[in-house]
Amino acid sequence: MKLLSADAYVDGVRAGDRAMLARTITLVESELPRHAALAQEVLTRLLPATGGSRRVGISGVPGAGKSTFIDALGMHLVKAGKRVAVLAIDPSSTVSGGSILGDKTRMARLSREEAAYIRPSPSSGTLGGVARKTRETLLLCEAAGFDVVLVETVGVGQSETVVADLVDFYLVLMLAGAGDELQGIKRGILEVADMLAINKADGDNKPRAERARSELRAALHLMRPGAEPEITTCSALEGTGIEKLWTSVETQLGRSAVSGAMERRRKAQQVQWMWSMVQDGLRAALRAHPEVSALVPTLEADVREGRATPTSAALRVLGAFLPETRA
């Protein structure tokens, strides 16, 4: 990748140049040390232009139709005059490390809109399927003038609550048959969801979707008494319920902004972000440490074959990395 000046990246993003935005995201996503300093300079200079978008995370049970839903929601927002960025976090290929789902092909209408920008990004094995650089990418999209940033996560489960540290509002898509699907969804994600939307509420499935809403409401009343999230139904295929859903999202975000809760949440997220980056840096330094690198193959084999306990092996790794911790 040919590097440009910091001015070129900053000016291009601020001008809303899509090609330059893509190049800047690629720079920020780069794992090459020589790109890191330039990426951070660009981000720092763009910070004053960030913070103006609605940040919405979207997750859901398998088969809930997340990409089809985002396509429908994005089209609704574009028609309402909004500029929409979608950060679609794909599972990483174990061969190339790249995205394997190809969300652009599953958001056919939205991908053709000039006011929309879709950025598939490999999860790189990061907890919750939220790519490590997604935070920076979100800021770049805000600096480029997008009004709404949608973050689509890989799947659903305890680790998916990580996305709550990125966004202002967390929407979870469900399917009819709530009693069964509660078996496949972790409690943690329901504890942080701001709204549940039962998708595919169309045709013969509409009555089942209404029953599912009642079942979910009863379950969440027990799980989150007094703080139950709103539960709605919609059909991304037919486009029904989408406008009502977004109106409710904006209403809740408006209240959060007025009360100061949104600002407090974002400030807390910034601190959490800092510590996440510290942990990432320590993990990278640990794996790059020559003495640790020499020890790891033997220790992993010993643990695998039962010749050493995981605890004793971990202590040896830490002792090699931090000699002062050795017994």
Q: How confident is the model at residue 185 (pLDDT cuts 50, 70, 90)?
A: low
Question: What is the dotted CATH code of the domain comprising 50-259?
Answer: 3.40.50.300
Tell me what pLDDT residue 244 has: 96
pLDDT > 70? residue 327: no
Q: What is the mean pLDDT of the chain?
A: 85
CA proximity to 234, closest of 107, 62, 71, 54: 71
Q: How confident is the model at residue 156 (pLDDT cuts 50, 70, 90)?
A: low
CATH classification (class only), 1-48: mainly alpha
Distance, in Å, from the CA atom of 36 to the CA atom of 27, rounded to the nearest integer, reads 8
50-259 matches 272-325 in fold: no
7-16, 109-118, 133-142, 178-187: least confidently modelled range: 178-187
Distance, in Å, from the CA atom of 199 to the CA atom of 217, rounded to the nearest integer, reads 16
Q: Which residue has the higher pLDDT, 60 or 95?
A: 60
- Torsion over CA: 275, 284, 89, 229 (sign): negative
Tell me what pLDDT residue 19 has: 94
Question: Encoding tokens for residue 64?
Answer: 């809930």
Tell me what pLDDT residue 12 has: 97
- Pairing type for strands 148-152 and 116-122 reads unpaired
Question: What is the dotted CATH code of the domain comprising 272-325?
Answer: 1.10.287
Tell me what pLDDT residue 132 has: 66
pLDDT > 60? residue 275: yes
User: Percent of the chain having pLDDT more than 90?
Assistant: 55
Degrees (nearest 5) of the Cα angle 319, 327, 283?
20
Q: How confident is the model at residue 160 (pLDDT cuts 50, 70, 90)?
A: low
pLDDT > 50? residue 129: no
Q: For the chain, give every domain's residue range.
A: 1-48, 50-259, 272-325
CA proximity to 300, closest of 316, 279, 280: 316
Q: How confident is the model at residue 98 (pLDDT cuts 50, 70, 90)?
A: very low
